[in-house]
Structures are given as structure tokens and as C-alpha cells.
Chain A
Amino acid sequence: MRTVLERDDRDPTQAAPPDNVEIRLHDVELRFGQKIVLSGCSLDCERGKVTCVIGMSGAGKSTILRVINGLRRPYRGLVYIDGKEISGLPERELIEVRKKMGFAFQYSALFDSMTIADNVAFPLHEHTSLTRTEIGKRVSEVLASLGLEDVGDRLPSELSGGMQKRVGFARAIVNDPKILLFDEPTSGLDPIIANVITDTIRDIHSNLGATCVVVSHDLNYVYSMADTIAMLFEGTIIESGPADKIRNSPNPLVQQFLQGSVLGPIPI
């Protein structure tokens, strides 16, 4: 068995992405113990565009976001963020990469001992030299932009699921990141709130111009916000492109997933 120390040491410059690609995963393999989660996974996310990753539950979609953020190190392969290969970076240098990213978690991951305002202010306290007043002002602006004017003093447990998601978004965007990662933003929400969340992501994207990667299996919402859709199956991207290309894909795996059919090559 190869160990992490025996990582692939191929020349990273050979797979370096062009300027218009902000995020590139090149032939990434990732394991949890003996489980292979990603295998030969390659994905390009264009600068300033919304890329949606779709796929079955357990296909490794959320893991892709964690690889992009540096929370998981690939066993093999290369990960480029803004032209820099990060898979071999020491933790200290990864921190600098992560500061440029916002991550909105599936279950919001709000700090339950802090108020909403403190949650949103947290990245600013940690990474900026802004005064308490300036931070308070920025937090109020961000919360207001997401329709959360009056919740600053409340605790996360006092908010609905949809509001918690939006607070998670507020925390992710508060320091104007260049890259935004959304993990299952509409899961577990009713259709109206899911629409609100989708509109919020679109607004955030148009206001910040950030590169967004959204992981989801809600196809209606994916079609409405994605510039590029990539389908993940058994740890590999099997199809990617604009929505029309995905809709008309001849790949039977893609077609079965889009149609939600029980019959087909995808093992149930």
C-alpha cells in the first residue's frame, strides 16, 4: 500500500491551468482508510463563473469542496487554486489560501455558542485589523444584504433552517472571498425557501463576481444558477459542460441520473 509520503510527484507545471481557470483538480485520488472516495477526478472551474457539481448521494461531491479548500489532501493528483498547486502545501501556507475562500456548509456549521452577529464577525476578527465598530458595521451590511436585519443578537438555534443557511452564507462572504464553496445549499428546505436560497447565491455571485462551486443534487436549482455543470459518479467526473450539454449527454449514467430513473447502469 502506498502511503501519503509516496504521493504522486509528477511535475505540477505540466497540469497548470490557463488564466481563466481559477480552480483545477487534476487526476485527484482520495481515500478514507481503504475506501476510495475520488479516483482520477479532474475538474476545471472558470474564474468568476458558477460551477455546479451534481451526482448521487455518497458520490464524493462534498469531498471535492473539501479538497478545493485544503481540508482533505489528495492521495494522488494535483489541486490548483488561482494558479498555485496546493495539495502539498504545509498547513501554514494553506491558511493563506483558505482566507481567499468562503465555505457555506450543508448544515450551516454555525458556532452554536455565539450569536449570529458574532458568527458572521468571526472571520473578520481573526483575519483583519478592523476595529470593533468597523466590524459591526460590515456585519450589519452583510446581514441586511441577505434579509437578516434583525437576527444579529439571536443564537443559531433560534433560527429556522433557511435562515441558518443564509447566516452561513453571510459568514462565508463577509470578507469578500474570491472563491465561494456551497455544500448542498438547498437540501432539507421547502421549495419556496430553496428558491430564496438559489436567488441568494445568484445575487452573491453577481455582487462579488466570485468563482462559485456549488454541490447539489437538486437539478432544478442547479439549472437555474450554473454556468457549468459537472457530474460526479463513483469519484470521477464523467461529464461536464453547460446545462444544455449535460441535458443532451449521450452518457447513459448522466441520462439516468437526470431522469431519476430506477432502471439503468447506475447501481441502486
Chain B
Amino acid sequence: MRTAGVRPSLFPDIGARFFGYAGGLMLLLWDALRLIVTLRVKPSEVLRQAYFLGVQSWPIITLTSAFTGMVISLEAAAQAVAYGLSQLIGGSVAFGTLRELGPMLTGIVFAGRAGAAITASLGSMVVTEQVEALSSMGVSPTKVLVVPRLLACIITVPMLTVFADIVGVYGGFIVAALHAHVSSYVYWQSVQSLAGMSDFIAGLIKAAVFGAVVALVGCYEGLRAKGGAEGVGSVTTQAVVTSIILIFALNFAMSLVLFK
């Protein structure tokens, strides 16, 4: 195989790679939004993906949220009881869970489970020419592969976050009651007085954005898989890492905007 006579660049242009990646993600998002707005969506496929990506992530998200709520309560309870502030335990658990930990932990666990599944699935389709087969038939891979997963993630991550919020706050109650002997009335009264509906809604908005990030990054990485199994493994790792970093960064940015 001959090569063109072009001198290779000595230093990789990190800026160009960053903007190339960001631009690729935005183009994929634009393509998907265009298809969604023009209603070229198969509801049955969205539901199938929602079941596979969302419902099957429920047990692991429930478990992690329960233990997180419990550990916050454990740490807060010891301090609060020592300073006579046990009436703040429920509120602090609910406040932290609804605003930050519920959506963020759900997003991170979802990125690890569903994001990896999306990338591995699409990556395998790329290396076995299935995605090329779609294009060869005149069918947009974005329409068939990306749009259902994007919608499924945007719908299911907030739903999972509701579960995570409930389980986290309730887990906190169990530890507060058993460990610090805080009464049920005091705990739930504290929850009601410190955490409001606006915190809950803001958390769900964050969750929807995290869902979109996991789907977009997962699909984008999967669709640019190269080689065989090693290539699929490499993009899968990259997708999870990128999703988690973006979730942390966007969580901070959204907290700045939503809780001003």
C-alpha cells in the first residue's frame, strides 16, 4: 500500500482533538434532535431500550443509593446528636440526596452499566459491519441506533433518580433511627422543613442531562470503534471515563445555575 507524501505532525494537537471530539458529539446531538423533532422515532424501540438500559439498572442504583443515604446519615447522626442537632439529620440527608447525590450517583452508576453497554453494543455492530450495512441500505444509523437510546436514557435516568432519592432518604432514616435513636417524627419533619420540591425537580433536570450525556458519549464512542474486540474494549472504557468526567463537570455547572 502506498502512502501520500505528507510529513507527519511531530506533536499531536490536543486542542484540535478536543474540539474535534466536542464537535463530533454536537453533530451527533444535532442529527439526533433533527430526527426527534421530525418524529422519525420508533416508540417500540425506545421502550425496548428503556427496559434494557433503565429497568435493568434499577437494582444496582437502588443498592448504591441506599448505602449512600445510610452512610451520610451515619456520619451526620453522630455529629448532630453530639451537638444536640438531631432535628437536622433528616434534612441534611434529603437536601444532599435530592440536589446532588441522587442524580449524580445515578448518573455515574448508569454510565458504568448502561453507558458501557451502549458503547460495547454499537462498537460490536461497527466492527462486524452491521452499522455499515445500515448505511448501505440508505438507513441512518443515528435514527435506528442513537435516537432510541438517547430518548430511553433521558426518560429513564430521572425515573431511576426518583427511586434513588426515595431509597437514599429512607436508608438515612433507618440508620438515624437505629444508630442515633432519632424518632420517625423528628426525621421526617426535618426532611420536610429543609428539602423542598424545587430541590427534587432540579435534581431530576440534572438527571435528564446526565442521561443524555451517557447516551451521547456512549453512542459516539461506539460508532467510532475500530479494529476488533480490543478496539471495542478501548472505546467502552473511554466512554465510561468521559461520561463520568462530564457528569461531574456538568453537575457543578448546573448546581451553579439551578441553585443560585
A10: which B residues are within 8 A, CB to CB? none
Distance, CA A101 to CA B128, complexed state (A):
20
Closest to A91 in B: B140
Closest to B42 in A: A125
Say yes or no: B6 contacts A96, CB within 8 Å: no
Interface centre among B3, B130, B133 (most CB of A within 10 A): B133
Interface residues of B in 101-140 (CB under 8 A from A): 125, 128-130, 132-133, 135-140
Contacting A105 at CB < 8 Å: which of B4, B8, B133? B133
Tell me whether A71 and B137 are in contact in the complex, defined as CB-CB below 8 angstroms, given that A35-B2, A109-B128, A109-B129 are known contacts.
no
Say yes or no: B1 contacts A34, CB within 8 Å: no
Indicate the size class of the contact surface on chain B. 10 to 19
Say yes or no: A109 contacts B2, CB within 8 Å: no
Say yes or no: B132 contacts A105, CB within 8 Å: yes
Say yes or no: A35 contacts B3, CB within 8 Å: yes
B129: which A residues are within 8 A, CB to CB? 105-107, 109
Contacting B137 at CB < 8 Å: which of A37, A103, A107, A234? A103
Say yes or no: B130 contacts A36, CB within 8 Å: no
Q: For the complex formed, measure the closest distance between the CB of A245 and the CB atoms of chain B, giving whole angstroms.
A: 27
Distance, CA A110 to CA B125, complexed state (A):
9
Say yes or no: A103 contacts B136, CB within 8 Å: yes
Dominant SS among interface residues on chain B: loop
Chain A count of residues within 8 A CB distance of the other chain = 32
- Interface: A241 (CB within 8 A): no
Say yes or no: A36 contacts B4, CB within 8 Å: yes
Q: For the complex formed, measure the closest distance between the CB of A200 and the CB atoms of chain B, giving whole angstroms.
A: 19
Closest to A65 in B: B136
Say yes or no: A71 contacts B132, CB within 8 Å: yes
Say yes or no: A109 contacts B133, CB within 8 Å: yes
Closest to A37 in B: B1
Say yes or no: A234 contacts B2, CB within 8 Å: yes
Tell me whether A35 and B1 are in contact in the complex, defined as CB-CB below 8 angstroms, given that A1-B6, A98-B138, A127-B138 are known contacts.
yes
- Interface: A186 (CB within 8 A): no
Tell me whether A34 and B137 are in contact in the complex, defined as CB-CB below 8 angstroms, given that A105-B129, A107-B129 are known contacts.
no
| Sample of 14 more A-B contacts, CB < 8 Å, known A69-B136, A97-B138, A110-B130 | A34-B6, A35-B1, A36-B1, A36-B2, A95-B140, A98-B138, A99-B137, A105-B132, A105-B133, A105-B136, A109-B132, A111-B125, A111-B133, A234-B1
Closest 4 CB pairs of A and B: A98-B138, A109-B133, A109-B129, A95-B138
Contact sample, A vs B, 23 pairs, CB 8 Å cutoff: A1-B6, A35-B4, A36-B1, A58-B1, A71-B136, A98-B135, A98-B137, A98-B138, A99-B138, A103-B137, A105-B132, A107-B128, A109-B133, A110-B130, A110-B133, A111-B125, A111-B133, A122-B137, A126-B137, A126-B139, A127-B138, A234-B1, A234-B2
Measured CB to CB, the residues of A under 8 A from B are: 1, 31, 34-37, 39, 58, 66, 69, 71, 94-99, 101, 103, 105-107, 109-112, 122-123, 126-127, 234-235
Measured CB to CB, the residues of B under 8 A from A are: 1-4, 6, 8, 125, 128-130, 132-133, 135-140
